[in-house]
């Protein structure tokens, strides 16, 4: 049983720092200072921010550098800034001796299109691991709604007033438990991206959102803004110990792979927003402690 914690914190928008462009002479062999993606699948190497990575095709998307959801929700990823994702056609491509230095950064994630698998470093085990779905996926996981509404504002009391409006900025932070039974503590940032790449859907370890939604509250009413995030069912996955061998790339051990049973994670997707209006506070969550934590068992 997987459990994870969602923490809601009120705050303003933060700026996302992107890696500087990499020139043609060094771009394939320089790691972005703040993390990012380096696509090595063709002679024309591409380097771009993680926010510009399409996790379904594992390729660059043609959008504005700041990934924005519709309806005024702008997101800034907070947990992926120090992770570098390298995209290659197959594992043997890592046999290029110039790529050896990429393995020196233990926060790197390597994705191989041929096998639809990812390699990441497990800090608790001190080894590299290859991660892939046990059964080849023909479609991306279906989005499901989170099982409860989460308050992101206090209640506006207009029981004796003439009404008003609510507008709020907030942060959602996901913390996974250690109930996967495949290690004590993970390099959670790299693991999250490794899972995202392997299933073709971005799952969020952490993201910050700023809402421009306005809830209008009439005279004699109480109002509160609540959100409903989305989750995805992560399919059963296999995790095999691997290591880097010079001129051969990543070589998987002959040991039996660890099995990760299916579990749920927060999807990197715009949450549903609800303006809850009522004349009775018992039907709202006015007493909820903003910035507190909730445990979800998936």
Quick one: tokens of 131? 């991660």
More confident call, 57 vs 34? 57
Residue 72, SS3? coil
**What is the mean pLDDT of the segment spanning 237-242?**
92
Mean pLDDT of the chain: 75
Domain holding 91, by residue range, is 3-297
Largest Cα separation within the chain, whole Å, is 75
Element (H, E) at 231: strand 230-234
Report, in angstroms and rounded to the nearest whole number, the Rg of the chain calculated over CA atoms: 21
Q: DSSP letters of 162-213?
A: --EEE--EEEEEEEE-STTSS-SS--HHHHHHHHHHHHTS-B-SEEEEE---
Q: Which pair of tokens denotes residue 114?
A: 């041929």
Would you state the pLDDT for residue 182?
41
Top mean pLDDT of 5-9, 66-70, 202-206, 289-293 is at 202-206
**Both tokens of residue 182?**
């495949």
Q: In terms of pTM, does the model score above 0.95?
A: no
Total domains, the chain:
1
Question: Which residue has 């609540």 as its token pair?
Answer: 226
Residue 119 corresponds to which tokens in the numbers above?
């390699």
- Determine the Cα–Cα distance for residues 185 and 191; give it in Å rounded to an integer: 11
Is 118 a residue whose pLDDT tops 60? yes
């Amino acid at each position: 049983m997987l459990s994870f914690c969602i923490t809601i914190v009120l705050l303003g928008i933060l700026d996302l720092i992107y890696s500087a462009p990499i020139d043609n002479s060094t771009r394939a062999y320089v790691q972005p200072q703040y993390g990012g993606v380096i696509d090595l699948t063709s002679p024309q190497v591409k380097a771009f921010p993680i926010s510009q990575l399409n996790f379904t095709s594992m390729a660059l998307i043609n959008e504005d550098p700041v990934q924005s959801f519709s309806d005024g929700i702008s997101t800034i990823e907070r947990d992926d800034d120090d992770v570098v994702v390298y995209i290659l056609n197959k594992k043997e491509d890592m046999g290029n001796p110039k790529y050896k230095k990429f393995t020196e950064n233990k926060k790197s994630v390597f994705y191989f299109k041929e096998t639809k698998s990812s390699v990441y470093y497990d800090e608790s085990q001190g080894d590299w691991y290859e991660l892939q779905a046990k059964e080849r996926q023909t479609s991306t996981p279906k989005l499901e709604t989170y099982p409860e509404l989460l308050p992101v504002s206090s209640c506006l009391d207009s029981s004796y007033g003439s009404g008003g409006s609510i507008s709020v900025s907030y942060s959602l932070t996901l913390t996974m438990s250690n109930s996967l039974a495949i290690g004590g503590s993970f390099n959670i940032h790299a693991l999250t991206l490794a899972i995202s790449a392997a299933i073709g859907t971005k799952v969020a370890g952490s993201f910050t959102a700023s809402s421009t939604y306005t809830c209008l509250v009439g005279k004699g009413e109480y109002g509160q803004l609540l959100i409903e995030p989305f989750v995805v069912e992560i399919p059963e996955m296999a995790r095999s110990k691997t290591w880097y061998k010079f001129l051969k790339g990543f070589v998987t051990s002959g040991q039996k792979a660890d099995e990760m049973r299916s579990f749920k994670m927060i999807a990197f997707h715009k949450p549903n927003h609800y303006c809850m209006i009522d004349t009775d506070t018992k039907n709202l969550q006015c007493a909820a402690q903003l910035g507190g934590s909730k445990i979800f068992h998936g």
